[in-house]
C-alpha cells in the first residue's frame, strides 16, 4: 500500500520536549511503523512547497494520514481542496488528533468540527463497535495516562460508524473514533495523539493506526466530481 503522511512539523522544531519524544518528527514515528509493515511511505510537511502535496502524489497515495495543530491556516485552500477531491475519487483519509480542525477534514465534514478542550487528562478509550475492522486486536478498553482532553459537543455530522468512545478523568466524554464515506473514499478520525505525549508509540494505538490504514486504503479509483449528461436507457 502507498501511504502518504502529512505532518505540520512545527512543535518538533520549536520545542525541545516534543523533539525528545519524536526526534524524527511525528511523521517519522508513523513512517517507521508502516515501513516495518512493508508499506511504501512518503512523508510531507507544512514547510514543503505547497505542503508537498499535488495531484500526482494524491493519485499515488492509497491513504493519507494527517496531523496538524497550531498552523492549520497556513495550509493553502487549494491544497485542502485537492485533498478533498482525492478522497472523493477514492483515496483514504485518516485525521489524527488536532486534524479535527484541519482544512481538509473540515471540508470533508461540512461542519465546524469544534469541540471542548483542556491540556492534560487521563483518557480511557472504549471500543463500541468490536466487530469493526479498525477495532480488531484492540481490547474492550485501554488507558492513555496522559492525553489532551477533547470533549463533547463535537460538531461533526452523524458518523457512519462510531468505533471508539473516550472517557476522561475530568468528567468528559468524546466520540474518539468515527468513520465516514465521502464519494469513493473513506475517512477515519481518531482523537489521541497530542505532541507532548508518546501516544504514537503505544502498541494499542499502533494497532489502530495499522487497522485504519488497511480499512481506509483505496478500494477503487474514479472520477465522481462531474455531472455527466446521459441518454435515456429505456424508450419512453
Nearer Cβ to a copy of itself (16/234): 234
CB atoms within 10 A of CB 166: 23
Nearer Cβ to a copy of itself (20/118): 118
206 alpha carbon, distance to own chain's centre: 13
Nearer Cβ to a copy of itself (22/105): 105
Among 43, 127, 199, 206, binds a copy of itself (CB under 8 A): 127
User: Cell 487549494 belongs to which residue?
Assistant: 78
Query: Restricting to residues 65-84, which ones interact with a copy of itself according to CB under 8 A?
Result: 84
* 179 scored as a contact of a copy of itself (CB under 8 A): no
Site string for a copy of itself, 23-62 (x = CB under 8 A): ----------------------------------------
Q: What letters, b where the CB count within 10 A reaches 16 and e where it falls short, cover 17-54?
A: ebeebbeebbbbbbbebbeeeebebbbbbbeeeebbbe
Query: Restricting to residues 138-167, which ones interact with a copy of itself according to CB under 8 A?
Result: 140-141, 149, 151-155, 157-158, 160-162, 165-167
Instruction: Name the H helices within 61-134.
Output: 77-88, 103-109
* 222 scored as a contact of a copy of itself (CB under 8 A): yes
* 88 scored as a contact of a copy of itself (CB under 8 A): yes
* 101 scored as a contact of a copy of itself (CB under 8 A): yes
Let me know: does 100 contact 189? Beta carbons within 8 Å: yes
Q: Which of 39, 45, 20, 205 is nearest to 125 (CA)?
A: 205
- The CA–CA distances, whole Å, from 85 to 111, 192, 222 equal 17, 26, 11
> Taking the complex as a whole, how short is the minimal distance between the CB of residue 82 and a copy of itself, in angstroms?
13
> Taking the complex as a whole, how short is the minimal distance between the CB of residue 15 and a copy of itself, in angstroms?
20
Amino acid at each position: 500500500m502507498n501511504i502518504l503522511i502529512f505532518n505540520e512539523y512545527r512543535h518538533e522544531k520549536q520545542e525541545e520536549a516534543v523533539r525528545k519524544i519524536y526526534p524524527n518528527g511525528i511523521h517519522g514515528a508513523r513512517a517507521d511503523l508502516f515501513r516495518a509493515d512493508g508499506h511504501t511511505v512518503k512523508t510531507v510537511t507544512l514547510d514543503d512547497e505547497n505542503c508537498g502535496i499535488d495531484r500526482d502524489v494524491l493519485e499515488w497515495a492509497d491513504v493519507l494520514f494527517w496531523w496538524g495543530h497550531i498552523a492549520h491556516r497556513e495550509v493553502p485552500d487549494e491544497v485542502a481542496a485537492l485533498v478533498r477531491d482525492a478522497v472523493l475519487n477514492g483515496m483514504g483519509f485518516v485525521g489524527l488528533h488536532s486534524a479535527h480542525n484541519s482544512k481538509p477534514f473540515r471540508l470533508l465534514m461540512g461542519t465546524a468540527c469544534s469541540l471542548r478542550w483542556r491540556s492534560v487528562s487521563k483518557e480511557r478509550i472504549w471500543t463500541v463497535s468490536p466487530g469493526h475492522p479498525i477495532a480488531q486486536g484492540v481490547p474492550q478498553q485501554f488507558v492513555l495516562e496522559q492525553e489532551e482532553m477533547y470533549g463533547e459537543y463535537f460538531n461533526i455530522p452523524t458518523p457512519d460508524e462510531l468505533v471508539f468512545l473516550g472517557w476522561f478523568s475530568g468528567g468528559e466524554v468524546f466520540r474518539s473514533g468515527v468513520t465516514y464515506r465521502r464519494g469513493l473514499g473513506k475517512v477515519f478520525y481518531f482523537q489521541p495523539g497530542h505532541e507532548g505525549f508518546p501516544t504514537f508509540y503505544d502498541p494499542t494505538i499502533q494497532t489502530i493506526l495499522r487497522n485504519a490504514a488497511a480499512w481506509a486504503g483505496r478500494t477503487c479509483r474514479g472520477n465522481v466530481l462531474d455531472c455527466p449528461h446521459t441518454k435515456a436507457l429505456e424508450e419512453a
